[in-house]
Amino acid sequence: MNLAPTDRGADGTVVPDREKDARDLLNLTALALGARDIASGVTPTLEKLVRDTAAGGSAYFQADRRLLAFRVRAATGEMPQTPGMQAVAAHGLPGDTPLMVALQGSASPLFYDDTRLSPDTLGFPELGVASLAAAPVRDAQGQLLGAFLMHTFEAHVWQREEATLFSMISSTIAALAGRLVAEEEVRVTRESALRALGLALEARDGETQGHTDRVTSLAVRFADRLGWTEQQREALRWGAYLHDIGKIAIPDAVLLKPGLLDPEERASMCSHVQAGVRFAHALQFLPPGALSVIQDHHERWDGSGYPRRVAAQAISLQGRLFALCDVYDALTSPRPYKAAWTHERAISEIRTQAGRQFDPALVEPFVELTETVSTGPGQDA
């Protein structure tokens, strides 16, 4: 991949070790492919590109979801010091830039030896870019994920070896970007599924959303304090967010009844746990820890809860932890049949219930958590 034509082996001088060079690139490729983000994965390969070609600099631009702009996600080498280029660095290239439109329609990389001579590179001479190579980066469905560029400050005729190296690196970037975009899409899809279900529940029971947001936040902070891993906290967060989702299935006459429920209505209301577990099972991505919250959030330490009426360690830790958060928020919030309790009164009640309703080992850590929360960071500074 070395471009210098120093292949003078016969007279005893150094022959460039092209095999080693190619192997280095393979190693860089392997490194890039395993990366956790675009910048760390792509930067070492961009550095190699700048080292081994005439390019003064190179950058990867990622498309935003609606292709309104392409933003710099990784860059190496020198960028032209022009106001226009500073604007590009800050705001990206608009999706209707002629170059981006050309890349949209192109299956392979495009090479411009002189940016003044092609309508595709309109605007680039003013940026200080004299010659340019640009590759589209697509996902498996052919959708444009981004654009990979290298440039020179003086006019330059791109060589075959430079084009080969550029193409190879662009395929590595495509693989990495494709995986990262798909992983991000998984996250967005999961969150939006939770959000849609949350909205559906809220539409039935207007009171719910504030409660859901508060207990979710409280539960996650509790888990954080207890040293749970990120994965465990994430499962808890999903479970907390969905803990009452089964209420969607409860008839209005019960769900919205202002007074006390009679035994039959109460049984109907309690069935929200099983209904919630059923909906949650349909969300195949929910980890067991999330299901545990939904299943166990009305169980009690002494076995007097529902629906399984299990006691102590037979209740999942997620369920025991969440029950504290859920009850604390219910006590300190106003309800049609009661005013909001003060923090002190709620904590006193929760302490009384240690070993009855609640896991006694969790009560004091929970009290400490709420003391931290009610003081609030910086409030006494």
3-state secondary structure of 251: coil
CB of 254 to a second copy, least distance (A): 10
Quick one: 284 or 379, whose CB is closer to a second copy?
A: 284
Contacts of 57 (CB under 8 A, 6+ apart): 50, 75, 76, 77, 78, 79, 150, 151
CB of 10 to a second copy, least distance (A): 10
Q: Which of residues 10-49 bind a second copy (CB under 8 A)?
A: 18-19, 21-23, 25-27, 29-30, 33-36
Based on the shown chain and the rule CB under 8 A, indicate whether residue 68 belongs to the binding site for a second copy. no
Nearest to 308 by CA among 279, 316, 281: 316
Quick one: 187 or 336, whose CB is closer to a second copy?
A: 187
Q: Candidates 67, 275, 311, 330: give the one binding a second copy (CB under 8 A).
A: 275
Based on the shown chain and the rule CB under 8 A, indicate whether residue 78 belongs to the binding site for a second copy. no
> How many Å apart are CA 145 and CA 237, to the nearest integer?
30
Nearest to 41 by CA among 195, 183, 142, 239: 183
> How many Å apart are CA 167 and CA 49, to the nearest integer?
11
Structure tokens at 349: 């009640």
Based on the shown chain and the rule CB under 8 A, indicate whether residue 67 belongs to the binding site for a second copy. no
Q: Candidates 40, 192, 342, 352: give the one binding a second copy (CB under 8 A).
A: 192
Q: Candidates 71, 95, 190, 268: give the one binding a second copy (CB under 8 A).
A: 190
**φ, ψ for residue 93 (rounded to 5)?**
-100, 130
Q: Candidates 183, 262, 364, 368: give the one binding a second copy (CB under 8 A).
A: 183
CB of 305 to a second copy, least distance (A): 23
347 CB burial (10 A radius; 0-12, 13-18, 19+): buried
Residues, the chain: 381
Based on the shown chain and the rule CB under 8 A, indicate whether residue 303 belongs to the binding site for a second copy. no
Binding mask 111-150 for a second copy (x = CB under 8 A): -----------------------------x----------
The helix (run of H) or strand (run of E) holding residue 118 is none
DSSP assignment string, 281-305 = HHSTT--HHHHHHHHHTT--TTS--
Based on the shown chain and the rule CB under 8 A, indicate whether residue 95 belongs to the binding site for a second copy. no
Quick one: 279 or 366, whose CB is closer to a second copy?
A: 279
Q: Candidates 117, 157, 182, 340: give the one binding a second copy (CB under 8 A).
A: 182
> How many Å apart are CA 17 and CA 25, to the nearest integer?
13
Based on the shown chain and the rule CB under 8 A, indicate whether residue 51 belongs to the binding site for a second copy. no
Nearest to 65 by CA among 184, 193, 171: 184
Quick one: 172 or 370, whose CB is closer to a second copy?
A: 172
Quick one: 234 or 349, whose CB is closer to a second copy?
A: 234
Q: Candidates 71, 179, 211, 214: give the one binding a second copy (CB under 8 A).
A: 179
- Only segment of 244-252, 291-299, 324-332, 356-364 that touches a second copy (CB under 8 A): 244-252
Helices 360-375 & 208-225 angle (0-180, nearest 10): 110
The DSSP code for 359 is -
> How many Å apart are CA 270 and CA 306, to the nearest integer?
7
Contacts of 207 (CB under 8 A, 6+ apart): none
CB of 139 to a second copy, least distance (A): 8
- Only segment of 50-58, 75-83, 111-119, 166-174 that touches a second copy (CB under 8 A): 166-174
Based on the shown chain and the rule CB under 8 A, indicate whether residue 8 belongs to the binding site for a second copy. no
Contacts of 229 (CB under 8 A, 6+ apart): none
Give residues in contact with a second copy (CB under 8 A). Answer: 18-19, 21-23, 25-27, 29-30, 33-36, 140, 164, 167-168, 171-172, 174-176, 178-180, 182-183, 185-186, 188-190, 192-193, 195-200, 203-204, 245, 248-249, 251-253, 275, 278-280, 282-285
